[in-house]
Amino acid sequence: MSAASGSVIRVGTRASALAMAQTRQIADRIAAAAKAEVELVPVTTEGDTSRASLASLGGTGVFVTALREALLEGRCDVVVHSMKDLPTAEHEGLRLGAVPKRADARDALCARDGLTLATLPEGARVGTGSPRRIAQLRAVRPDLEVLDIRGNIDTRLGRVASGDPSTGSGEALDAVLLAAAGLGRLGRSDAATELLSLDDWPTAAAQGALAIEVRRERGDRALEHALEAVDHRTSRAAALAERLVLAGLEAGCAAPVGVTAFLDDELLFLSATVYSADGTRRITSSHAATPESRSAADLAESARDVADRAVAELLGNGAAELAAAIEETS
Protein backbone atom coordinates (compact mmCIF):
# COMPACT_ATOMS: atom_id res chain seq x y z
CA MET A 1 0.00 0.00 0.00
CA SER A 2 1.32 3.48 -0.84
CA ALA A 3 0.60 6.63 1.07
CA ALA A 4 -2.10 8.63 -0.67
CA SER A 5 -3.34 12.18 -0.28
CA GLY A 6 -5.40 12.41 2.86
CA SER A 7 -4.19 9.03 4.18
CA VAL A 8 -1.71 8.21 6.92
CA ILE A 9 1.98 8.08 6.00
CA ARG A 10 3.61 5.31 8.02
CA VAL A 11 7.19 6.11 9.03
CA GLY A 12 9.38 3.19 10.13
CA THR A 13 12.01 3.71 12.81
CA ARG A 14 14.14 1.84 15.30
CA ALA A 15 12.43 1.71 18.67
CA SER A 16 15.25 3.33 20.69
CA ALA A 17 14.64 6.67 22.38
CA LEU A 18 17.13 8.41 20.07
CA ALA A 19 15.67 6.90 16.90
CA MET A 20 12.12 7.75 17.96
CA ALA A 21 13.12 11.35 18.78
CA GLN A 22 14.91 12.00 15.50
CA THR A 23 12.22 10.23 13.46
CA ARG A 24 9.45 12.23 15.11
CA GLN A 25 11.13 15.46 14.01
CA ILE A 26 11.37 14.23 10.41
CA ALA A 27 7.85 12.77 10.46
CA ASP A 28 6.42 16.12 11.52
CA ARG A 29 8.14 17.81 8.57
CA ILE A 30 6.86 15.16 6.16
CA ALA A 31 3.33 15.57 7.54
CA ALA A 32 3.43 19.34 7.06
CA ALA A 33 4.78 19.13 3.51
CA ALA A 34 2.43 16.33 2.44
CA LYS A 35 -0.55 17.76 4.34
CA ALA A 36 -1.17 14.29 5.73
CA GLU A 37 -1.15 12.50 9.06
CA VAL A 38 1.84 10.39 10.01
CA GLU A 39 2.18 7.28 12.14
CA LEU A 40 5.45 6.05 13.61
CA VAL A 41 6.06 2.31 13.18
CA PRO A 42 8.72 1.11 15.67
CA VAL A 43 10.82 -1.83 14.45
CA THR A 44 13.29 -3.80 16.57
CA THR A 45 16.62 -4.54 14.84
CA GLU A 46 19.43 -6.99 15.58
CA GLY A 47 21.60 -4.13 16.77
CA ASP A 48 18.97 -3.19 19.35
CA THR A 49 18.64 -6.66 20.88
CA SER A 50 22.23 -7.95 20.86
CA ARG A 51 24.71 -6.84 23.51
CA ALA A 52 27.68 -8.04 21.44
CA SER A 53 30.12 -5.47 20.05
CA LEU A 54 29.33 -3.91 16.68
CA ALA A 55 32.54 -5.36 15.25
CA SER A 56 31.53 -8.92 16.19
CA LEU A 57 28.04 -8.37 14.76
CA GLY A 58 29.52 -7.32 11.44
CA GLY A 59 28.80 -3.62 11.93
CA THR A 60 27.21 -2.73 8.62
CA GLY A 61 23.48 -3.35 8.39
CA VAL A 62 22.72 -4.54 11.91
CA PHE A 63 20.48 -1.52 12.56
CA VAL A 64 18.82 -1.35 9.13
CA THR A 65 17.92 -4.82 7.85
CA ALA A 66 14.68 -5.19 9.80
CA LEU A 67 13.61 -1.65 8.84
CA ARG A 68 14.22 -2.36 5.18
CA GLU A 69 12.22 -5.58 5.40
CA ALA A 70 9.29 -3.67 6.92
CA LEU A 71 9.46 -1.16 4.07
CA LEU A 72 9.64 -3.80 1.34
CA GLU A 73 6.77 -5.75 2.91
CA GLY A 74 4.57 -2.64 2.90
CA ARG A 75 4.32 -2.26 6.67
CA CYS A 76 5.50 1.34 6.32
CA ASP A 77 5.85 3.90 3.52
CA VAL A 78 9.22 5.39 4.45
CA VAL A 79 11.94 4.52 6.97
CA VAL A 80 14.35 6.85 8.76
CA HIS A 81 17.90 5.70 9.46
CA SER A 82 20.98 7.21 11.01
CA MET A 83 22.83 7.44 7.71
CA LYS A 84 26.11 6.17 9.14
CA ASP A 85 24.37 2.82 9.82
CA LEU A 86 23.51 2.26 6.14
CA PRO A 87 25.58 -0.15 4.03
CA THR A 88 27.32 1.76 1.25
CA ALA A 89 26.00 -0.53 -1.52
CA GLU A 90 22.65 0.45 -3.02
CA HIS A 91 19.63 -1.76 -2.31
CA GLU A 92 18.00 -3.01 -5.50
CA GLY A 93 14.48 -2.48 -4.17
CA LEU A 94 14.97 0.81 -2.32
CA ARG A 95 16.21 4.34 -2.97
CA LEU A 96 17.37 7.27 -0.89
CA GLY A 97 14.33 9.54 -0.86
CA ALA A 98 15.84 12.42 1.10
CA VAL A 99 18.69 13.52 3.35
CA PRO A 100 17.54 16.22 5.81
CA LYS A 101 19.91 19.01 6.84
CA ARG A 102 22.79 17.46 8.73
CA ALA A 103 23.26 17.98 12.44
CA ASP A 104 26.60 18.44 14.23
CA ALA A 105 28.98 15.78 12.86
CA ARG A 106 31.45 16.01 15.75
CA ASP A 107 32.14 13.53 18.52
CA ALA A 108 31.49 14.65 22.09
CA LEU A 109 33.44 13.67 25.17
CA CYS A 110 31.15 13.35 28.17
CA ALA A 111 33.35 13.17 31.24
CA ARG A 112 33.00 13.45 34.99
CA ASP A 113 33.82 16.74 36.70
CA GLY A 114 33.96 18.68 33.42
CA LEU A 115 37.15 16.95 32.28
CA THR A 116 38.43 17.16 28.69
CA LEU A 117 40.43 14.65 26.68
CA ALA A 118 43.64 16.44 27.65
CA THR A 119 42.80 16.68 31.36
CA LEU A 120 41.54 13.13 31.94
CA PRO A 121 43.90 11.56 34.51
CA GLU A 122 46.33 8.85 33.47
CA GLY A 123 44.60 5.47 33.37
CA ALA A 124 41.11 6.99 33.18
CA ARG A 125 38.40 4.62 31.94
CA VAL A 126 36.70 5.73 28.72
CA GLY A 127 33.82 3.85 27.12
CA THR A 128 32.96 3.57 23.42
CA GLY A 129 31.70 0.85 21.08
CA SER A 130 33.33 2.33 17.98
CA PRO A 131 36.60 0.85 16.59
CA ARG A 132 37.32 4.26 15.02
CA ARG A 133 36.98 6.09 18.33
CA ILE A 134 39.05 3.41 20.07
CA ALA A 135 41.86 3.88 17.53
CA GLN A 136 41.69 7.66 17.85
CA LEU A 137 41.76 7.51 21.65
CA ARG A 138 44.77 5.19 21.60
CA ALA A 139 46.53 7.53 19.17
CA VAL A 140 46.27 10.64 21.37
CA ARG A 141 46.03 9.10 24.86
CA PRO A 142 47.61 5.61 24.89
CA ASP A 143 47.60 5.76 28.70
CA LEU A 144 43.80 5.59 28.90
CA GLU A 145 41.88 2.38 29.56
CA VAL A 146 39.38 2.08 26.71
CA LEU A 147 36.34 -0.14 27.27
CA ASP A 148 34.12 -1.50 24.48
CA ILE A 149 30.57 -0.67 25.63
CA ARG A 150 27.07 -0.81 24.18
CA GLY A 151 23.73 0.63 25.27
CA ASN A 152 21.58 3.67 24.68
CA ILE A 153 22.77 7.21 25.38
CA ASP A 154 21.16 7.49 28.81
CA THR A 155 22.67 4.17 29.90
CA ARG A 156 26.13 5.24 28.81
CA LEU A 157 25.87 8.66 30.41
CA GLY A 158 24.58 7.03 33.58
CA ARG A 159 27.79 5.08 33.95
CA VAL A 160 29.65 8.40 34.08
CA ALA A 161 27.17 10.53 35.99
CA SER A 162 26.46 8.05 38.79
CA GLY A 163 30.03 7.00 39.44
CA ASP A 164 28.38 4.00 41.05
CA PRO A 165 28.56 0.51 39.52
CA SER A 166 25.66 -0.55 41.77
CA THR A 167 23.29 1.15 39.31
CA GLY A 168 23.29 -2.08 37.34
CA SER A 169 24.68 -0.39 34.23
CA GLY A 170 28.15 -1.91 34.64
CA GLU A 171 31.37 -0.52 36.09
CA ALA A 172 31.62 3.23 36.47
CA LEU A 173 33.51 5.18 33.80
CA ASP A 174 35.40 8.44 33.80
CA ALA A 175 34.05 9.37 30.36
CA VAL A 176 32.23 8.15 27.28
CA LEU A 177 32.49 9.24 23.65
CA LEU A 178 29.20 9.88 21.84
CA ALA A 179 27.95 11.62 18.72
CA ALA A 180 27.10 15.25 19.34
CA ALA A 181 24.10 14.92 17.03
CA GLY A 182 22.54 12.19 19.14
CA LEU A 183 22.98 14.20 22.32
CA GLY A 184 21.35 17.19 20.66
CA ARG A 185 18.36 15.24 19.39
CA LEU A 186 17.70 13.92 22.89
CA GLY A 187 18.17 17.30 24.54
CA ARG A 188 21.34 16.11 26.32
CA SER A 189 23.94 18.41 24.76
CA ASP A 190 24.76 19.75 28.21
CA ALA A 191 26.35 16.37 29.02
CA ALA A 192 29.24 17.12 26.65
CA THR A 193 32.36 18.40 28.37
CA GLU A 194 34.28 18.75 25.08
CA LEU A 195 33.36 18.78 21.39
CA LEU A 196 36.22 17.33 19.35
CA SER A 197 37.30 19.27 16.26
CA LEU A 198 36.69 17.55 12.93
CA ASP A 199 40.10 18.78 11.77
CA ASP A 200 41.88 16.64 14.36
CA TRP A 201 39.16 14.09 15.06
CA PRO A 202 37.27 13.11 11.87
CA THR A 203 34.14 11.09 12.52
CA ALA A 204 32.23 8.27 10.85
CA ALA A 205 31.03 8.74 7.27
CA ALA A 206 27.68 10.61 7.33
CA GLN A 207 27.68 11.00 11.14
CA GLY A 208 24.98 13.50 12.09
CA ALA A 209 23.03 12.86 8.87
CA LEU A 210 19.71 11.04 8.58
CA ALA A 211 18.60 8.99 5.57
CA ILE A 212 14.99 8.58 4.48
CA GLU A 213 14.55 5.44 2.41
CA VAL A 214 11.55 4.58 0.25
CA ARG A 215 10.67 1.80 -2.17
CA ARG A 216 12.31 2.23 -5.56
CA GLU A 217 9.04 2.74 -7.43
CA ARG A 218 7.74 6.29 -7.20
CA GLY A 219 5.17 6.91 -4.48
CA ASP A 220 2.16 9.18 -4.61
CA ARG A 221 2.66 12.85 -5.49
CA ALA A 222 2.14 14.19 -1.96
CA LEU A 223 4.81 11.93 -0.49
CA GLU A 224 7.30 12.71 -3.26
CA HIS A 225 6.68 16.44 -2.71
CA ALA A 226 7.32 15.99 1.00
CA LEU A 227 10.61 14.19 0.35
CA GLU A 228 11.76 17.02 -1.93
CA ALA A 229 10.87 19.56 0.76
CA VAL A 230 12.86 17.69 3.42
CA ASP A 231 15.93 17.00 1.26
CA HIS A 232 19.02 19.19 1.86
CA ARG A 233 21.29 19.08 -1.19
CA THR A 234 24.59 20.06 0.38
CA SER A 235 24.11 17.63 3.27
CA ARG A 236 23.33 14.88 0.77
CA ALA A 237 26.45 15.69 -1.26
CA ALA A 238 28.76 15.74 1.77
CA ALA A 239 27.35 12.47 3.08
CA LEU A 240 27.63 10.92 -0.38
CA ALA A 241 31.30 11.89 -0.67
CA GLU A 242 32.07 10.42 2.75
CA ARG A 243 30.21 7.19 2.06
CA LEU A 244 31.89 6.79 -1.34
CA VAL A 245 35.24 6.77 0.48
CA LEU A 246 34.05 3.85 2.59
CA ALA A 247 32.75 2.08 -0.50
CA GLY A 248 36.01 2.62 -2.36
CA LEU A 249 38.02 1.30 0.57
CA GLU A 250 35.53 -1.58 0.93
CA ALA A 251 35.23 -0.60 4.59
CA GLY A 252 32.10 -0.93 6.72
CA CYS A 253 30.55 1.54 9.13
CA ALA A 254 32.48 -0.08 12.02
CA ALA A 255 35.91 0.32 10.36
CA PRO A 256 38.47 2.70 11.92
CA VAL A 257 38.02 5.30 9.19
CA GLY A 258 37.31 8.96 9.84
CA VAL A 259 36.04 11.11 6.98
CA THR A 260 34.75 14.66 6.75
CA ALA A 261 33.25 16.52 3.78
CA PHE A 262 31.71 19.99 3.66
CA LEU A 263 30.89 22.74 1.19
CA ASP A 264 32.52 26.13 1.78
CA ASP A 265 33.17 29.10 -0.51
CA GLU A 266 31.85 27.15 -3.53
CA LEU A 267 34.29 24.28 -2.91
CA LEU A 268 33.48 20.76 -1.74
CA PHE A 269 36.25 19.68 0.64
CA LEU A 270 36.91 16.11 1.77
CA SER A 271 39.47 14.66 4.16
CA ALA A 272 39.71 10.96 5.06
CA THR A 273 41.94 9.10 7.52
CA VAL A 274 42.43 5.35 7.92
CA TYR A 275 43.74 4.27 11.34
CA SER A 276 45.44 1.14 12.57
CA ALA A 277 43.46 -0.60 15.31
CA ASP A 278 45.95 0.49 17.97
CA GLY A 279 46.09 4.07 16.71
CA THR A 280 49.83 4.01 16.10
CA ARG A 281 49.53 4.40 12.32
CA ARG A 282 47.33 6.54 10.10
CA ILE A 283 47.04 7.47 6.44
CA THR A 284 45.28 10.70 5.44
CA SER A 285 44.13 12.14 2.12
CA SER A 286 42.48 15.54 1.48
CA HIS A 287 40.98 16.88 -1.75
CA ALA A 288 38.60 19.55 -3.04
CA ALA A 289 36.35 20.02 -6.07
CA THR A 290 34.38 22.92 -7.51
CA PRO A 291 30.76 22.04 -8.38
CA GLU A 292 29.54 23.86 -11.49
CA SER A 293 26.33 24.72 -9.64
CA ARG A 294 24.35 23.83 -6.53
CA SER A 295 22.18 21.41 -8.52
CA ALA A 296 21.86 17.91 -7.12
CA ALA A 297 23.58 16.44 -10.20
CA ASP A 298 26.60 18.79 -10.06
CA LEU A 299 27.02 18.33 -6.32
CA ALA A 300 26.89 14.55 -6.71
CA GLU A 301 29.47 14.67 -9.51
CA SER A 302 31.85 16.67 -7.30
CA ALA A 303 31.26 14.26 -4.43
CA ARG A 304 32.29 11.34 -6.63
CA ASP A 305 35.33 13.27 -7.88
CA VAL A 306 36.79 14.07 -4.44
CA ALA A 307 35.97 10.59 -3.12
CA ASP A 308 37.62 8.85 -6.08
CA ARG A 309 40.79 10.91 -5.69
CA ALA A 310 40.94 10.35 -1.94
CA VAL A 311 40.44 6.60 -2.28
CA ALA A 312 43.12 6.36 -4.96
CA GLU A 313 45.61 8.23 -2.78
CA LEU A 314 44.77 6.26 0.35
CA LEU A 315 45.14 2.93 -1.44
CA GLY A 316 48.33 4.11 -3.13
CA ASN A 317 49.78 4.97 0.28
CA GLY A 318 49.02 1.57 1.80
CA ALA A 319 45.48 1.78 3.19
CA ALA A 320 44.70 -1.74 1.94
CA GLU A 321 47.66 -3.17 3.84
CA LEU A 322 46.64 -1.24 6.95
CA ALA A 323 43.10 -2.62 6.65
CA ALA A 324 44.48 -6.15 6.28
CA ALA A 325 46.45 -5.68 9.49
CA ILE A 326 43.26 -4.50 11.20
CA GLU A 327 41.38 -7.64 10.11
CA GLU A 328 44.16 -9.86 11.44
CA THR A 329 43.95 -8.24 14.88
CA SER A 330 40.12 -8.13 15.08
Residue 137 belongs to a domain with what CATH number? 3.40.190.10
Identify the active-site residue in 24, 75, 125, 150: 150
Start-end of H helices in the chain: 17-34, 46-49, 54-57, 65-72, 131-140, 153-161, 180-185, 221-230, 233-249, 296-316, 319-329
pLDDT score for 83: 94
Same domain flag for 23 and 67: yes
In terms of domains, do 41 and 51 share one? yes
- One-letter amino acid identity for 264? D
Same domain? 96 vs 111:
no
Active-site residue flag, 84: yes
Catalytic residue, from 10, 14, 68, 85: name it: 85
* pLDDT for the residue 325: 59
- Residue 84 near residue 207, CB atoms below 8 Å: yes
Is 85 part of the annotated catalytic residue set?
yes
Name beta bridge partners: 81.
211
Of 140, 170, 195, the residue that ends a domain is 195
Whether 266 maps to a domain, the answer reads: yes
150 is catalytic: yes
Phi, psi of 124 (to 5 degrees): -60, 150
Q: Is residue 82 located within the same domain as residue 175?
A: no
Domain with 88 in it = 1-100+209-231
Report pLDDT for 162: 58
Catalytic residue among 77, 236, 253, 305: 253
pLDDT for the residue numbered 240: 97
Query: Which is catalytic among the residues 84, 159, 185, 243?
Result: 84
> Which residue in the list 10, 68, 133, 236 is annotated as catalytic?
133
pLDDT, averaged per 10 consecutive residues of the chain (330 residues), comes to 64 92 94 94 68 47 86 95 91 95 98 96 95 95 93 90 50 94 95 97 96 90 94 97 94 81 95 93 96 94 98 93 61
253 is catalytic: yes
> Could you say which DSSP state residue 180 is in?
H
Q: Count the domains in the chain.
A: 3
133 is catalytic: yes
Given the DSSP bridges, would you call strands 282-289 and 107-111 parallel, antiparallel or unpaired?
unpaired
pLDDT digits (tens, 9 = 90+) for 154-164: 989 999 965 54
